[in-house]
Structure 1
Amino acid sequence: MFSKIVETSYQIEKIKVLYIDSDDDYIESALEILKNYFENIVVSTSSDDATLNLEKNHFDFILVDIKISNYAGIELVKKIKERYEDVLIVFFSEFDSHDYLLESMKLEVDGYIFKPIDLVQFNTVIEKITDKLSCKFQLLNNVNYLNQYVDIVDNSTIISKTDIDGNITYVNDKFCNITGYNRAELIGKSHNILKYKDNPDEFYKDMWRTIKVEKKEWHGIIKNVSKTGKIYYMKATIKPLLDTDGNIVEFIAFRDSLNLILDDKKHLLNKIELNKLSLLILVQIQEFDMLEKFYNIVKVDQVEKTFASNLVSYLPASFIFEDVYTLGDGRYALLTDYRNFEKLEINLHDYLEDFVKNVTDSILEIDGIEYDLNIILSYSCGKYSLYEDAKAGLEVAIAKNKVINYSNDSSIKINQEAKKNFEIIKMVKIALDNYKIVSYFQPIINNRTKEIEKYESLVRLINENGDVISPFDFLNVSKKGNYYNKITSRVLENSFKMLDFVNTKLSINLSALDIEKEQTREEIFTLLDKYKEQNNRIVFELLEDENVKDFRSIKYFIKKVKRKGVMIAIDDFGAGYSNFERLLDFEPDILKIDGSLVKNIEKDDYSKNIIETIVSFAKKQNILTIAEYVENETIFNLLNEMGVDYSQGYYFGKPEALEKKH
């Protein structure tokens, strides 16, 4: 990550603001606030004057009265957006400007400030604008720095590039030096020219699956052989480079030379004996015996070896241990000359905490199965009884569920988060195995008739004690393992079965993560074919997500299911205006109004006005609206008066178990 290069004072000097308003009173008030943020402000009191100013100067940020000369503000912004793609625009608007707001939504501006001026709301919007401009200036500077960084990296790291078939297209001088080959001998050749004969085929299959099929970054230790036959180890990072459509263009690999030895206890003790002062760290995979209960011995052995191969890559970059030893039963040792570590003036405990965090944050994937591993550490410094002390410390740490233990120090930190996550994953696995991932159903009523016309399917987990667990307590953690898609599969199965017991429509939540997974899409279409006579009773609720990776596959999925009669709803709509373009692409049948707006409408005019705007827009587009979080009669009556079509919330019914319905 690049550091923050642009200082605030530098930003203020560079930012040029154009403020367009014909109301002298508001100009004076707004300028007082704007001058707290910007130094270079130009005021225009008409659309024509603003056009002249735009021709003479480049502006970074434009604040424009939406109603200036009737629709002139809207038309002016249309022209600005066509001509100046990178300018940020905020509309000044009164609360009752519904028609103007509807028109402005299509322009995808960067914010709204409402009249009369609310200082908190005004400052919030302006601060967001300054943040965006700060990012823009940082980007320009970073491009300049990036070119310099490329030269630094090329001179300090072993680098190669290959095409999509694995043929070498580029190597730097350091690569040639360590391999013993010159460029002419390497370019156009496969990396197999460096392959050590005893490396397992599974190792390379895993690497290629990661970078070519999954298009992810791969980290690991590679054992290679040079032109002269010398064996050497490399700590490697291989990354696929993608074009804007997500297609792999080439692969780039960064390597650091390592003297890595995966050895046993005898060699470890010999190495300690040879050195006068050593730092020894013992590493234990937390609850390793639990893996043996879940998986067979072959798979556990594979996990142990793969973790060993990746262990060095989890170490903080500030210091890499040269020697790693496997001791069996998920236990490893790291050894180094303590003086080498001490020279770097690194805080050892902080270093080990980062090491533990790196392991916790990573996912070890083998043959499509993801392992969310955590570790416990014990460390000791010295020469005599070093291994015995560290081993005793590790046993204490394991017994007390402690993460880092110095064998001669009683201060030990407990990694409660790691333990909790492991317990959640274990709970989810048990629930899946015992069909305790269930669906609860919450009614959605027609505001006009007050009759139930739909149910929304909501996932729940029943634990071993019979307690009903909310998705808030397990769904996010499940995404770290290989269980999230299994949960989705169970929810789909439960929901479609419900079609045989109710006559209403059924709403099923789908995330971008669900739709982007090919296996989940195939399962959905299999169920739709099985229940083809009931497809018109299915509604898929899509949660707005700015982190969508494969937007085209989602659009294609929507078109395909709609052709089968399925309805599409956009969940949590109204949190921002940025979703308008996506809304047009999705062509939804239903908008579910964001609950944070609904629950505030009794007191908050802003929320009320936004909902009225959404309803007005939806009716013009023949889109139905559903309000969530309808908790009382007052909220329901207000929504009904606004023209919202459906309501969902505790006022009409809580989510209930399947068997309670019919």
Structure 2
Amino acid sequence: MESVFKKCIVDARNLTLLYVEDNVGARAGSMLIFEEFFGRVIEAVDGEDGLEKFKNYHIDLVITDITMPQMNGLEMAAAIRKLSPQTPVLILSAYNEAEYFIESIRLGVEGYLLKPIEIGQFMDVLSQVIEKIRLKAEHDKLQTLLTQYLEVTDKSAIVSKTDKHGVITYVNDAFCTISGFSRDEIIGQKHSIVRHKDTPQELFQDLWKTISSGNLWQGIIKNRCKNGSSYYIKTAIKPILNKKGEVVEYIALYNDITEVMNPKKQLFDYIHSTEEAVVVLLKIEDFATVEDFYSNELIELLERRLGDKLLENIAKACPFEKIYTLGFGEYALAIDKNKCPLIALSLGQKIKELLKEIEEEIIHLNQIEYSASLIASLAFGGKEPYQSAHFGIKKAERKKINFILATDLILEMQAQAQVNMGIIVAVKKALNTSGIISYFQPIIDNKTKKIAKFESLVRLVDENHNLWFPADFLDISKKGRYYTQITQKVLDNSFQALYQTSADITINISAIDIEEQVTRNKLINLLDTHKEHAHRITFELLEDASIKEFDVIKTFIQEVKSRGVSIAIDDFGSGYSNFERLLDYDPDIIKIDGSLIKNIATDDYSISIVKTIVSFANEHNIKTIAEFVENETIFNILYALGVHYSQGYYFGKPQLLEEYKGISGF
């Protein structure tokens, strides 16, 4: 499994995937996996969106759901087949009806994955598809060579001949056309007449060593036209030998590949030509917003002028000769590590200074002035420098910093990806084996010191009977399709607990849960099914900076409160919680953040804040709960302040509900 995973990472990192899925939760889950495998993943929300993006981007592989609005996955696949018959398509669906299989077979799709994705099956199918892509590339290469041989016969290929000293003795019309030189200007010269300064001298040394020893040399060469522009040629140079095996002349066949040599390919070619490369990736922050604001012409002008500034400024510190404009606001610089005069820390400092200079400069775009803010990632040699720098950009974005030293970061990312994959597998197995359970922690009425409520807390029991806490698996699950299933299992556990105790049950609900239509429907159905106990349910809303649908959340709160449910705000007093949010959520209960409670015996500031919260809550007829109540001293302070309920290890740790039997208030 591990070797397959590593091979998929290596083979897929230069592929662009188009992933089409209308379900937000499923899409987010699959993206967790796909982004670890593919160099780039383009998302589409339905068949029409997918087809449009297929037309607008270079796509190597398509993975699509079947049942979607507007245009389903099979209809989209059929349309893609007409545009590009060779592009591999994988069908991803929860459906297994014969008609879908028959239709997908008719379309000639490369694979059919059933939801939920089984990791081993996914890797097997992906490996097969990558092998097909590789074979197609090899086939295309052979076909290209065959075409060149035919063109030589028809005197329409790019051809040159030299004597054994490398002096040009013949070129055909195609050579003159692509180079811009006349035949008279070329004959008698050496190939240095078209040599581009960007092409490494080491390449020509290797070329001459190979052909002078009687062997065929093949490679890609960047040449210079007479007018100074450049072109790329795929080159094959064959020594012509006499009967004694001595070289008498050389014949070279060329294929113009300028149009297919995109900047990223040029970058990779350079990196691969060096023993060890230093790679710098730069990205314009919030480039999507820039794209929405400016026209395509201004975007191209911005990328060109900003690229020129970046190269001009950084070349003062390190002799980078070229900047690669990768598109989507991204740039790359690369240099042989042996040619870099700076150590990693010094180059990193220069890059930080460059970022500051660029941010302070004004770029004039016709009549518009623009100030650019960039993120930079430096891989100073090491393993897979481009991939490391690429992961560095993502990490810098997550950490909200503008520079990161990313040397060998790919090793860390691969290790983390393996850990994440293991978590996903464990979650899947737990869901299939009733391993998602609920522990319950008591919430005490401060006046009676009896159990008034239980908070339902999720736990995972793996196949080895180890107990996992939410921090061990929940964040990874939130990025995957299994999070919704976990939530639904916790909801079932929590509502079932209503029949095992007379105490109320508190259930944690996040913004992700409420924004997900499937989960909202589940909650409403459970409340209607258990409507005689709905008044004993409290939904504890977990604050989240990523809330997008405030109106959906407010409507949901109103709907459940009409059924008798109480609303609590979790972790009030820190994070995203504020008094203004209370006006939106109209809570019945405020849970005071534990960071204020655990230090309340020694921190006057914490006491002042808690007093303010309790005073505000009492004024608006809102109950208060203090969490992290660890000892009697803390409890006595909270009781004196008028806090209504307490929760913490002083009264009980989370455990299975049946373990509370016989306790007062159960």
TM-score range, shorter chain: 0.3 to 0.5
Relative to the length of structure 2, the TM-score reads 0.45
Compute the TM-score of the two structures, normalised by the length of structure 1. 0.45
Q: Rg bigger for which structure?
A: 2
